[in-house]
Structure 1
């Protein structure tokens, strides 16, 4: 299987892409690649791989005949992308078809890896918790630029993008990367005192408490304004029919207090 691994690496086919093409989990791909021979793969998956690589069987002789050049790489990439496109079109999500091809591929990659994580019975609980945090990061991203910077840092650290690939703000990301990397280094090597860590965490807890109090206060304020708007308009609740009118009145009430 070493030869197959070499071929896949030269073709630039990731485990995630291959898993999507074969319709299995990423972990299953690792399991397949640990087998002694391609001929020990499940028949259906084996045939799909033969089709992708344009070979007749999984023998070392057949794999050895593969000549990896630009033309062959393009042919394999075309077959792979067509399969992914066909899979994507199975989703009943017409709005997503308005996206560009690379955006559709990104959506497909995201949904695949989320599904893969959620169906991993060995790490299920950890994966669910981690994905909830990812969801929270996505929600916070518009109001917290550092969330994007942190995602970019993780991408760089794991070799998905270059260390100076700063697409959001070159100067701020440069500083952020340096500080985060230094902090993670201290964490990994225990290079700071417990008392300083405790003090820092206490400040962190206090800041979170303050933000939560502000959020609660804002929620209560909006609820009060909503009740006033409904009362002024003679409604008892917000419905699809009166929502626009109620929200306009809420904005008006807020402006009165400025």
Structure 2
């Protein structure tokens, strides 16, 4: 005897509703659709998703009786397709305009949005916020630190999503970093380094970050000093949209003067 979920799966196939389209309609990832369909019955589904499915199929509940009463006619197919497309369109437009993106890019953006939403609602735990906060920081830095792309590619390969010999970026640099990370991960997983060496290494790691922060702070303070000097020389109290370019030019002039003075002193 078929289970309720098997009956539902067969109905979805008969209606021509793909897992991708159903995922968009429900606002979840494709993987979550597979997870839902493996559950014992529809009562195990999140209430919001279950009601959306009932609305799509135009049924009151997920019982065998309700699903069994469905007659897949041309008119019913058209009605389901209309509801499906309307909700997908509304979902896509509710985030932001994707019309300038390629179809492939639109799918990826929507998958990312749905996955993040899913993680913060149905799969939320005490680590979720920081997982995505750090991911956000990584994405903000991806243009200035090329190694981030190589590490992401490495993780994609080790988790089975990409071919291990696929190189979408600088092949040589990517190959080198992947080899280094692989070696490091083996050390990590096998406990191949002594605790004292790890402590010393982490101390160097912390020190390097602190030095970098100090350098950034120093440059920021220097720039602030030069900006104040530029405003003073120009007779302004602050930077506005009207004087911004003039102030920037004055800052450049002051910095060049300091370079010349430094060269003369040397």
Determine if the alignment matches structure 1 residue 156 to structure 2 residue 157.
yes
1:141-176 CA distance string (max 9 Å, x none): 222111111111111122222112211111111111
Give aligned pairs, total. 233
Determine if the alignment matches structure 1 residue 108 to structure 2 residue 116.
no
Report SS of the residue matched to 2:249. helix
Shift of 1:202: 1.6
Identify if the C-alpha distance between structure 1 residues 87 and 236 changes in structure 2 by more than 3 Å, giving closer, same or farther: same
Shift of 1:204: 0.9
Q: How does 1:187-226 map to 2 (within 5 A)?
A: 187-226=188-227
Report SS of the residue matched to 2:94. coil
Shift of 1:182: 1.6
Whole-angstrom CA distance in 2 between matches of 1:159 and 1:3 = 31
* Match of residue 238 from structure 1: 239
Shift of 1:216: 0.8
1:185-234 CA distance string (max 9 Å, x none): 21112122111111211211121111111111111111111111211222
Q: Whose relative contact order is higher, 1 or 2, with alpha carbons under 8 Å and at least 6 apart?
A: 2
* Of 68, 71, 91, the match for 1:87: 91
* Match of residue 36 from structure 1: 40
- Deviant stretches of 4+, over 4 Å: 1-8, 11-14, 24-31, 37-41, 79-86
CA contact (8 A) 1:26 1:116 kept: no
Whole-angstrom CA distance in 1 between matches of 2:84 and 2:184 = 41
Determine if the alignment matches structure 1 residue 23 to structure 2 residue 24.
no
Whole-angstrom CA distance in 2 between matches of 1:214 and 1:40 = 55
1:28-76 CA distance string (max 9 Å, x none): 64663243346986353156479xxxxxx867xx9xxxxxxxxxxxxxx
Identify if the C-alpha distance between structure 1 residues 44 and 81 changes in structure 2 by more than 3 Å, giving closer, same or farther: closer
Identify if the C-alpha distance between structure 1 residues 182 and 117 changes in structure 2 by more than 3 Å, giving closer, same or farther: same
Identify if the C-alpha distance between structure 1 residues 128 and 194 changes in structure 2 by more than 3 Å, giving closer, same or farther: same
| Structure 2: unaligned runs, 5 residues or longer | 59-65, 71-82, 260-266
TM-score by length of 2: 0.70
Shift of 1:99: 2.5
Determine if the alignment matches structure 1 residue 45 to structure 2 residue 46.
no
Report SS of the residue matched to 2:127. helix
* Match of residue 100 from structure 2: 98
Whole-angstrom CA distance in 2 between matches of 1:225 and 1:139 = 28
| Structure 1: unaligned runs, 5 residues or longer | 51-56, 63-78
Whole-angstrom CA distance in 2 between matches of 1:247 and 1:106 = 40
Report SS of the residue matched to 1:204. helix
Whole-angstrom CA distance in 2 between matches of 1:245 and 1:43 = 60
CA contact (8 A) 2:19 2:30 kept: no
Report SS of the residue matched to 2:25. helix
